[in-house]
């Protein structure tokens, strides 16, 4: 069932739409621009800019149109007062009793008042996708964190999500690894750090092949045997995959990440000859010096795509990354019929995805199929730099992600020991794990994905900044207050909520806005919007908490109302943190 509780913006947008119709302009057929929160409370709580859009077709001034809308605005319990301001804004001042009732409806709703606009739709999200027999690098960590958050954002808005870990488990590196394994395996090192040893073997092979090029022929022969199904080589290859998946899983468990599918590149291998043959037959691909390439139309919007070709089969018959991605796209479309497919990788793969999307669309068109049947999106992100100091220099860019998480947890432990010495050893260890991992996720998510991020431990673990620990402590504060007052969250009478102080009014308004922000973060693939909003909300909560009495409020009614506000805050913060994958602990 979709959520019956509309957002405040929806309520007001509908109201403006009614005014448009009542003023006799329904035939303009202009979708009504959503009412948005006013930047400044003097301009009301929400503002509608719709008069600016109507003015042109009506050959009138925005101000005159806004006056007309105001005159036809139907009365509604949400709106205490409306006025026209400036060149044509419609400012809406909201009724606080209505706001309170609406917040109660939101937080009592099973979806937290989150509109389920994705209901009935599927989206495939391709994220993490590390390469077997290698360490995950920082790029894979960002993909894992950002991708899993998009995953949660889509689920929160009603989509069915297929989270697909497209691991790199195929390619010529396996022949090299097999040769190196048979010659140079260090059993003890393998025992201690399996993926580290595989990586060392691969590097050792590359070094040795510089001196002895015959090794390359050997590796090619082993790759060919593997591809032909040689049982020994296949067993080794499967072992490499299994070992890597165990290591990856260790990171996923700690980051709270789980996939619905792990269909690696090898899964698509049998389909590749058919893809190339089809593209050739459709006239999308052509032979060029013994290779098969796709050339792009001279009117493609992106110059780099116009100027470059995509090789889908090499002279030696080998298929490439892009070939696999074309097969993958077909498989996803026919298996899940998604409305969209989202790929999360670092910015260096932009051209790759533009090429794959363009080739696939041309191929669809050539087959008489709709190229817009699925929305294709490459959500890319910038680099992440580790802090100076021993982590950064010792481990470089290919640090083990577990080491990074361990370092975060170690530092979080110092904070927890200082803040909460009264808790038991086990409790402090569990809190430090949650804070460390939450801080790593949050430090990544709180930036615009496309900007470069620098990890600064002190900043990301600070208790009073735009950080995971700040949100976590704010949430825990709600719960500790309830414990102190001996109220169980489920017994709180939410209907007692009322606004008697400006700090309460500000908090209520922010809490109410959360579903709008979640929708925007989902639509724009920008988890940082939600981080910023939760930060602002937690700040408003702390101001309320530190300046007003809750348990010692002057009257019983006031106390009941404030307890309701604490519970509403806990629910909204907890839900938002869950979307970000930041644990909400009951006690810290």
The residue ranges that bind ligand ARG (CB under 6 A) are: 126, 129-131, 166, 168, 325, 328, 343, 345
DSSP string, 499-560: --SHHHHHHHHHHHHHHHHHHHHHHHT-HHHHHHHHHHHHHHHHHHHHHS-STT-SSHHHHH
Nearer to ligand ARG, 148 or 345 (CB): 345
- CB of 380 or CB of 473, closer to ligand ARG: 380
Select 140 or 526, whichever has its Cβ closest to ligand ARG.
140
Task: Supply the DSSP string of 40-109, one letter for each residue.
Answer: SGGG-SEEE-HHHHHHHHHTS-HHHHHHHHHHHPPP-TTEEEEEEETTTEEEEEEPHHHHHHHHHHHHHS
Counted residue by residue, the chain has a size of 588
User: Could you give the strand order of the β-sheet that contains 160-164, starting from the edge strand earlier in sequence?
Assistant: 160-164, 122-126, 340-346, 375-381
* Residue 468 φ/ψ, nearest 5 degrees: -65, -45
Pairing mode, if any, of strands 285-288 and 291-295? antiparallel
What is the nearest approach in angstroms of ligand ARG to the Cβ of residue 41?
45
Please give the structure tokens belonging to residue 555.
């009257």
- Which residue's CB is nearer to ligand ARG, number 122 or number 129? 129
Shortest reach from residue 169's CB to ligand ARG, in Å: 9
Q: How far apart are CA 131 and CA 140, in angstroms?
A: 9
The terminus-to-terminus CA distance of the chain in angstroms comes to 36
Choose among 130, 129, 128, 125: nearest CA to 152: 125
Least distance (Å) from ligand ARG to the CB of residue 360?
Answer: 12
The nearer residue to ligand ARG, 177 or 431, going by C-beta atoms, is: 177
Q: Least distance from C-beta 286 to ligand ARG, angstroms? A: 24
The Cα–Cα gap between 69 and 84 comes to 9
For ligand ARG, which is the closer residue by CB, 166 or 513?
Answer: 166
Least separation in angstroms between CB 328 and ligand ARG: 6
Q: Give the nearer residue to ligand ARG in terms of CB position, either 71 or 246.
A: 246
For residue 292, give the 3-state DSSP assignment: strand
Contact 113, 3 (CB under 8 A): yes
Q: What does the alpha-carbon distance between residue 431 and residue 420 come to, in Å, rounded to a whole number? A: 10
**CB proximity list for 243: less than 8 A, separation 6 or greater:** 133, 194, 195, 198
The first and second tokens of residue 244, run together, are 């890597």
Comparison of 169 and 504: residue with beta carbon closer to ligand ARG: 169
Provide CB contacts within 8 A for 348, sequence distance 6+: none
CB of 303 to ligand ARG, least distance (A): 22
Least distance in angstroms from the C-beta of 350 to ligand ARG: 12
Of the pair 151, 407, the CB lying nearest ligand ARG is at 151
Quick check: 478 and 573 in contact, CB under 8 A? yes
Task: Please say which residue, 322 or 438, places its beta carbon nearer to ligand ARG.
Answer: 322
Residue closer to ligand ARG, measured from CB, 170 or 473: 170
Q: What is the closest distance, in whole angstroms, from the C-beta atom of residue 379 to ligand ARG in the complex?
A: 11
- Burial classification of residue 348, based on how many CB atoms lie within 10 Å of its CB (0-12 exposed, 13-18 middle, 19 or more buried): exposed
- Supply the minimum distance, in Å, between the C-beta of residue 345 and ligand ARG: 5
The residue among 331 and 501 lying less far from ligand ARG, judged by its C-beta, is 331
Q: Nearest distance from residue 407's CB to ligand ARG, in Å?
A: 23
Provide the strand spans (E) within 452-500. 453-454
Instruction: Count other Cβ atoms within 10 Å, centred on residue 219.
Output: 21
Calculate the alpha carbon distances from 342 to 152, 353, 430, 437 in Å: 13, 11, 34, 25
- The CA distance from 562 to 554, in Å, is 11
Q: Which is nearer to ligand ARG, 154 or 353 (CB)?
A: 353
Minimum distance, C-beta of residue 270 to ligand ARG, in the bound complex (Å): 17
């Amino acid at each position: 069932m979709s959520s019956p509780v509309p957002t405040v913006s929806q309520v007001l947008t509908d109201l403006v739409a009614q005014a448009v119709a009542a003023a006799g302009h329904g035939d303009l057929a202009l979708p009504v621009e959503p009412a948005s929160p006013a930047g400044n409370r003097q301009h009301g709580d929400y503002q509608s800019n719709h008069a600016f859009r109507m003015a042109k077709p009506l050959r009138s001034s925005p101000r005159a149109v806004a006056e007309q809308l105001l005159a036809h605005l139907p009365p509604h319990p949400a709106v205490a007062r409306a006025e026209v301001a400036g060149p044509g804004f419609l400012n809406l001042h909201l009724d606080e009793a209505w706001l309170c009732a609406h917040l109660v409806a939101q937080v009592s709703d099973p979806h937290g008042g989150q509109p389920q606009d994705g209901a009935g739709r599927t989206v495939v999200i391709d994220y993490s996708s590390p390469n077997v027999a290698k360490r995950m690098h920082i790029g894979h960590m960002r993909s894992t964190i950002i991708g899993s958050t998009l995953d949660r954002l889509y689920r929160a808005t009603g989509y069915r999500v297929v989270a697909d870990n497209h691991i790199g488990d195929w390619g010529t590196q396996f022949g090299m690894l097999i040769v190196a394994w048979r010659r140079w395996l260090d059993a003890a090192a393998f025992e201690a750090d399996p993926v580290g040893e595989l990586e060392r073997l691969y590097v050792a092979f590359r070094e040795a092949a510089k001196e002895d090029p015959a090794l390359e022929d050997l590796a090619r022969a082993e790759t060919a045997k593997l591809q032909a199904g040689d049982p020994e080589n296949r067993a080794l290859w499967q072992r490499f995959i299994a070992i890597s998946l165990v290591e990856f899983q260790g990171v996923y468990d700690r980051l709270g990440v789980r996939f619905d599918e792990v269909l690696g590149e090898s899964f698509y291998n049998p389909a590749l000859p058919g893809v190339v043959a089809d593209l050739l037959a459709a006239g999308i691909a052509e032979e060029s010096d013994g290779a098969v390439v796709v050339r792009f139309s001279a009117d493609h919007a992106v110059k780099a795509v116009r100027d470059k070709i995509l090789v889908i089969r090499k002279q030696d018959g080998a298929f490439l990354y892009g070939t696999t991605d074309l097969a993958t796209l077909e498989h996803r479309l026919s298996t899940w019929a998604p409305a969209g497919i989202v790929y999360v990788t670092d910015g260096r793969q932009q051209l790759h995805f533009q090429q794959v999307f363009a080739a696939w669309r041309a191929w669809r068109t050539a087959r008489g199929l709709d190229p817009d049947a699925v929305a294709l999106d490459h959500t890319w992100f910038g680099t992440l730099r580790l802090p100076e100091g021993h982590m950064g220099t010792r481990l470089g860019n290919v640090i083990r992600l577990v080491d990074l998480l361990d370092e975060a947890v170690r530092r979080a432990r110092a904070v927890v020991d200082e803040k909460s010495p009264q808790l038991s050893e086990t409790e402090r260890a569990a809190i430090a794990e949650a804070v460390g991992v939450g801080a790593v996720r949050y430090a990544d998510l709180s930036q615009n994905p496309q900007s470069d991020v620098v990890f600064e431990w002190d900043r990301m673990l600070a208790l009073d900044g735009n950080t995971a620990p700040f949100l976590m402590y704010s949430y825990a504060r709600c719960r500790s207050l309830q414990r102190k007052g001996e109220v169980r969250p489920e017994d709180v009478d939410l209907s007692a909520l009322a606004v008697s102080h400006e700090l309460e009014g500000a908090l209520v308004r922010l809490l109410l806005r959360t579903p709008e922000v979640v929708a925007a973060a989902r639509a724009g693939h920008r988890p940082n919007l939600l981080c910023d909003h939760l930060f602002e909300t937690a700040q408003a909560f702390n101001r309320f908490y530190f300046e007003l009495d809750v348990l010692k409020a002057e009257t019983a009614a006031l106390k009941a109302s404030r307890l309701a506000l604490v519970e509403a805050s806990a629910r909204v913060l907890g839900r938002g943190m869950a979307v970000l994958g930041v644990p909400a602990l009951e006690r810290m």
